[in-house]
Chain A
Amino acid sequence: MQYKSQAVAKPYFIAAIGLFIGQILFGLIMGYQYVVGDFLFPAIPFNVARMVHTNLLIVWTLFAFMGAGYYLIPEEAETELFSPKLAIIMFWIFLVAGALTIVGYLAVPYATLARMTGNDILATMGREFLEQPLPTKVGIVIVALAFLFNISLTVLKGRKTSISLVLLLGLWGLAVFFLFSFYNPSNLVLDKYFWWWTVHLWVEGVWELILGAMLAFVLIKITGVDREVIEKWLYVIIAMTLITGIIGTGHHYFWIGAPEYWQWFGSVFSALEPIPFFMMTVFAFNMVNRRRREHPNKAATLWALGTGVMSFLGAGVWGFMHTLAPVNFYTHGTQITAAHGHMAFYGAYAMVNLTMISYAMPMLRGRSANSGPAQTLEMWSFWLMTVSMVFITLFLTAAGILQIWLQRMGSNPMSFMDTQDQVMLFYWLREIAGLVFFVGLVLYIWSFFCKKGEARFAA
């Protein structure tokens, strides 16, 4: 760690991992509810478990992005953070607001929560992924703006690198596009437009810039390849992201009541969306192969390479699978979507966060890398989580194909619930893979506390 103020990243990373554990636990609950429908009913109904699962994912990703910002920006700008105190205050505000929101989801029915939190003043609730009550949404905006204020001023007073500019662009975009979540028109088509302008322009737009910047930063550090080379790659990747991703929003307009030409626009542009992800893979491997130093943190290198591969498979390949309008006509809203969602989110965003944490946490704890045994443990957790996620994706894909066939293509289409009974086997297998994922996560946490052989790596 080169700058004292980078230390504020540490609580953000710890909170991120804590919420990640929560996300996986609720994933397991929900996966079990797929096969035993009344599990934990009425305490935690399926829709609540699902909301908690997805919201925790978003919140832990935001925590990790902010931690990454606070860690990376001072080092790139070669100056201390503008205000470490503000960063810590915001951390506690965000953590308390996030925790209260989850408690709210679990403690009272959603409609009651909506009444209690002023949804009648400005109706923003009830939309998938953006279920947060109004005060939480306002809190997210305040925390995000304070964070952006803090890191932007740090960049302004220090060195301006491409990595920090791309990161800033991505994070500002994240904040700006979140504002669409405050507008909830009663016209359903308009509602969907605005909803996608947050959801899609986040995950297939500005978040990819954040991902690219974080990956580029870690690659510079662990490979020692020239900054100019890495920055050129970064620019080309983010340009491709924006060229394909922005009009690619059209692949959500196919069946929401938008004009028909969106079926062409959405298909063509989103078919190109795998390109930036493919380049990310080539980028990661290319840089590691051309490395000019042997960084002691092998685990971080593994996570970086894994991000390249898994984001391409999950976002690129599994996304392309159902992005063309004639295909999506059959696959829309089936388990194919769930398969894509799982691998894309894990491969792109969970893994880049874990890459960053894997690289930065040892530094924040005063050493260049964890001990050999701790890294071995972390690499085991990498493989367990990654391979089980591959299986979760494959099982859901199989369930999806069967579902489409039985429910939408056969001569005697079955009802939704009858179809669900037919794909039960895959849901069981998915749940088992989910348990293995959880084992991987436990090993991951354990690797932080592994004391074996620590002395040799002290920085």
Chain B
Amino acid sequence: MQHNNASMRGVCAPHLLSKNTPAALNNNTITLREVHDTPPGDFAIWFFIFAELLAFGIFFVAYAFARARNVELFNQSQQHLNIAAGAINTLVLITSSYFVVRAVAAIKQNFSRECARWIAAAIGMGGIFLAIKLFELYAKFSAGISLSTNTFYMFYLSLSIFHFMHVILGMVILTAIMLKARSGGYSAKSHTGVETGASYWHMVDMLWIILFPLVYVIH
């Protein structure tokens, strides 16, 4: 499997370069395209990512089928969702993903402390996401809505809570990586762990980017 990263400035670990990597020397900085033979991070995480995407994927497809059979009900229920909260949360997660990207870039330049700080920022954004989401769910539960209210709310609540738990798991993973990075456990040469956590976090982000328009926006 091949995976191309966008051009990234900075010194890169030599072991990531394959023989025919096009690398352009430009004064003191090196602009290069990394070509991985395998996906970034530990290969095992990609099994999980694949499985998670499959589970969410089946849920999304089921949602589509259920919606097609109850368009009225879905449209009507969707109007009661807090789109603003969902939109803010989308921005929050995308920002957190950017922070994770910065963390990976930092460790590739051997900046352990900076890497840990970027990850801490990403975890903070995750916390903001959870807070907003809790506020949103609290409003729904206070209104007496439950999994048994109707098919739409069954999907809305299941998908929300299912994704919520993944955000928590992602934050746990990121915290473990942050602690290791802070104590100098990663380096430019050896940072598979950071990439592993980053890959998982991007997946959590990406799922929300699908979930938000699907459940909140598309009528």
B44 contacts across to A, CB distance below 8 A: 232, 235-236
- B59 and A268 contact, CB distance less than 8 A: yes
Q: Would A261 and B51 be within 8 Å (CB), given that A232-B44, A268-B58 are in contact?
A: no
B148 contacts across to A, CB distance below 8 A: 259-261
Interface of chain B: mostly helix, strand, loop or mixed: helix
B47 contacts across to A, CB distance below 8 A: 236, 240, 279
* B37-79 to A contact mask, C-beta < 8 Å, 1/0: 0000000100110010011001100100000000000000000
Complex: chain B residue closest to A276, CB-CB = B51
Residue A457 at the B interface, CB < 8 A? no
* Those of A211-240 within 8 Å (CB) of chain B: 232, 235-236, 239-240
A271 contacts across to B, CB distance below 8 A: 58
- A268 and B48 contact, CB distance less than 8 A: no
Residue A277 at the B interface, CB < 8 A? no
Q: Would A272 and B147 be within 8 Å (CB), given that A235-B44, A261-B154, A264-B154 are in contact?
A: no
A261 contacts across to B, CB distance below 8 A: 147-148, 154, 158
A240 contacts across to B, CB distance below 8 A: 47, 51
B58 contacts across to A, CB distance below 8 A: 268, 271-272
B55 contacts across to A, CB distance below 8 A: 243-244, 268-269, 272
How far, in whole Å, are A260 and B151 apart by their CA atoms in the complex? 9
How far, in whole Å, are A259 and B154 apart by their CA atoms in the complex? 11
- A239 and B147 contact, CB distance less than 8 A: no
- A264 and B51 contact, CB distance less than 8 A: no
Contact residue among A239, A267, A269 (Cβ-Cβ distance under 8 Å from B48): A239
How many residues on chain B are close to A (CB under 8 Å)?
Answer: 14
Interface of chain A: mostly helix, strand, loop or mixed: helix
Q: How far is the CB of A12 from chain B (nearest CB, A)?
A: 34
* Those of A260-318 within 8 Å (CB) of chain B: 260-261, 264-265, 267-269, 271-272, 275, 279
How far, in whole Å, are A232 and B46 apart by their CA atoms in the complex? 13
- A275 and B59 contact, CB distance less than 8 A: no
- A264 and B54 contact, CB distance less than 8 A: no
B62 contacts across to A, CB distance below 8 A: 264, 267-268
Q: How far is the CB of A419 from chain B (nearest CB, A)?
A: 32
Q: Which one of A235, A236, A267, A268 has the highest number of Cβ atoms from chain B below 10 Å of its Cβ?
A: A268
Complex: chain B residue closest to A279, CB-CB = B47
Q: Would A259 and B147 be within 8 Å (CB), given that A268-B59, A271-B58, A272-B58 are in contact?
A: yes
Q: How far is the CB of A444 from chain B (nearest CB, A)?
A: 36
Complex: chain A residue closest to B66, CB-CB = A264
How far, in whole Å, are A57 and B82 apart by their CA atoms in the complex? 54
A267 contacts across to B, CB distance below 8 A: 62
* A235-265 to B contact mask, C-beta < 8 Å, 1/0: 1100110011000000000000001110011
A268 contacts across to B, CB distance below 8 A: 55, 58-59, 62
B158 contacts across to A, CB distance below 8 A: 261, 264-265
How far, in whole Å, are A261 and B48 apart by their CA atoms in the complex? 25
How far, in whole Å, are A260 and B155 apart by their CA atoms in the complex? 12
How far, in whole Å, are A264 and B48 apart by their CA atoms in the complex? 22
How far, in whole Å, are A272 and B48 apart by their CA atoms in the complex? 12
How far, in whole Å, are A236 and B58 apart by their CA atoms in the complex? 20
Complex: chain B residue closest to A232, CB-CB = B44
Q: How far is the CB of B57 from chain A (nearest CB, A)?
A: 10
Q: How far is the CB of A290 from chain B (nearest CB, A)?
A: 16
| 19 A-B interface contacts by CB (under 8 A) | A235-B44, A236-B44, A236-B47, A236-B48, A243-B51, A244-B55, A259-B147, A259-B148, A260-B148, A261-B147, A261-B148, A264-B158, A268-B55, A268-B58, A269-B55, A271-B58, A272-B55, A272-B58, A275-B51
- Beyond the given A260-B148, A261-B154, please list 17 additional residue pairs across the A-B interface where CB-CB is below 8 A: A235-B44, A236-B47, A240-B51, A243-B51, A244-B55, A259-B147, A259-B148, A261-B147, A261-B148, A261-B158, A264-B62, A264-B158, A268-B58, A268-B62, A272-B54, A275-B54, A279-B47
> What residues make up the interface of A, taking CB atoms closer than 8 Å to B?
232, 235-236, 239-240, 243-244, 259-261, 264-265, 267-269, 271-272, 275, 279
